[in-house]
Amino acid sequence: MATKKAEAPKGKLGVMVVGLGAVTSTFMTGVFMTRKGLAKPIGSCTQYDKIRIGKGEDKKYLHYKDIVPLATLDDIVFAAWDVYPANAYEAAINAEVLKEKDINPVKDELEAIKPLKAAFDHNYAKRLDGDNVKDCKDRWDMTEQIREDIRNFKKETGVERVVVLWAASTEVYVPVDEKIHGTVEALEAAMKADDKEHIAPSMCYAYAALTEGCPFIMGAPNTTVDIPAMWELAEKTKMPIAGKDFKTGQTLVKSGFAPIIGDRCLGLNGWFSTNILGNRDGLVLDEPANFRTKEVSKLSTLETILVPEDQPDLYGHGNDEDTQYYHKVRINYYPPRNDNKEGWDNIDIFGWMGYPMQIKINFLCRDSILAAPLCLDLVLLSDLAARAGRYGTQRFLSFFLKSPMHDYTKGEVPVNNLYQQHTMLRNAIREMGGYEADEEMD
């Protein structure tokens, strides 16, 4: 797939979001407030980051919009699906992420966004009990109803293009089954057979989006587009896919801090991470089957940055078999904190002659405040990728995601090092702007 210079955007960009909770209502409110000049889109690379173009005397540092034809915030038209019927204004108030004074100036815009009925299976998120839910005969019917929603949204709003973004809860863990998830044909057969065990609702959203010509972004750690059947579908429909799991708090720190240990050739005995979180995401993750999905995502980050096989003296210690450092991740549901997540990391390292040291990191973050700009960047860059003829897995978007998609069937190892991911992002922007991708990633 050759990269070409991205075509200029025409018309409006529809953004259909699965889930109208804390993250999405914060994202929408911020976009509307920024449009009115009442807020700044801080945290968004597409709005603030600068990239070097050219070398030597010819080099200059430009914002993304000056390199590639990005859609603007004024181009965006929102829609959402949710299991609860509250509109975006009510959702923003209920989430208690933003103060009312930062929501009320765009109350009219938010109230106009009334969620479509969600494609939902209670068995995939047992802690949620909303009634704004589609009545579906089977998984195929579920997919067809989502497709119809996308077509209706295009017709009613007149948007030229649509990106579908999953910002809903983490589903229960679905192991990849080659017989079901290996090909589009097998996946479609399972949907038509109403195989609820292997076909998660998120897969229905992804299938519907791709077949309707929409890029799809998976913002949770669900098994959704990271299966061969979806890769095949993305190739067939010539659509970009990206995932998975927004890189917001603890994993952002981990992917940025672990390279310090690696680059200084220090040893690692163990890394213990724990979180407290009280919003809807925390409630859902209090269910062990849902936490398993998140745990797999969060654990995968470190092992590809500090690799025991590459440096056995430094990382081959810590657990019972003495083959690798000990790595543990915990998430605890704690309602009083609501969206104000807190992550603690205890890192046991060792240095010269094996002498032990410790690092403690305490990140008191706001989950949706960190996720909202990621939503904006992922949406705008996925739309850009589609206009540049890029399809399939967009590895350059790994910078924004906790558990980067990769072709595990061919033994591909995902890039989790934050600085290497940033190089991939910059090179992709250069290419889509018609410039040379001139940075090495090593």
Task: Report pLDDT digits (tens) over 306-353.
Answer: 998 899 899 986 555 556 899 998 888 888 888 888 899 999 999 999
For residues 440 and 442, what is the distance between their CA atoms, to the nearest angstrom?
6
In the structure encoding, which two tokens stand for residue 340, read together? Answer: 């104000």
Rounded mean pLDDT of 219-236? 96
Q: Residues 400-417: pLDDT tens digits?
A: 999 999 999 999 999 999
- pLDDT recorded at residue 1: 47
Q: Which residues of 388-407 are buried (b: 16+ CB within 10 A; e: fewer)?
A: bbbbbbbbbbbbbbbbbbbe
Q: Look up residue 248 and give its two tokens.
A: 């917001």
**How many Cβ atoms are within 10 Å of 11's Cβ, its own excluded?**
12
Which of 162-171, 305-314, 317-326, 372-381 has the weakest average pLDDT?
317-326
Contact in structure between 224 and 244 (CB atoms under 8 Å): yes
Query: Which tens digits make up the pLDDT trace of 280-316?
Result: 666 676 677 666 666 665 567 898 899 988 998 999 8
Rounded Cα gap, residues 46 and 72, in angstroms: 10
pLDDT for position 289: 65
Contact 83, 120 (CB under 8 A): yes
Residue with tokens 């259909």: 16
Using CA atoms, how far apart are residues 91 and 173, in angstroms rounded to an integer?
27
- Report all structural domains of the chain as residue ranges with CATH numbers, in order of start: 13-246+368-432 (3.40.50.720), 250-364 (3.30.360.10)
Task: Look up tokens 């080659």; give the residue.
Answer: 178
Mean pLDDT lowest for which of 231-235, 252-256, 300-304?
300-304
DSSP states along 147-199: HHHHHHHHHHH--SEEEEEE-SPPPPP----HHHHSSHHHHHHHHHTT-TTT-
